[in-house]
Amino acid sequence: MASERTRILFVCLGNICRSPLAEAIFREETRRRGVEQRFEIDSAG
């Protein structure tokens, strides 16, 4: 079970600014902390 990834989905109405920005910020933060392999990150609208 340790290899399972947590799925994170950021959603907004248009998927033009808010959710892609939230995805990028979260992705960068997980990379900075060295835990990016624990998450599957996406955005939608």
Active site residues: 12, 18
- DSSP per-residue codes, 3-38: TPPEEEEEE-SSSSSHHHHHHHHHHHHHHHHT-GGG
DSSP 17: S
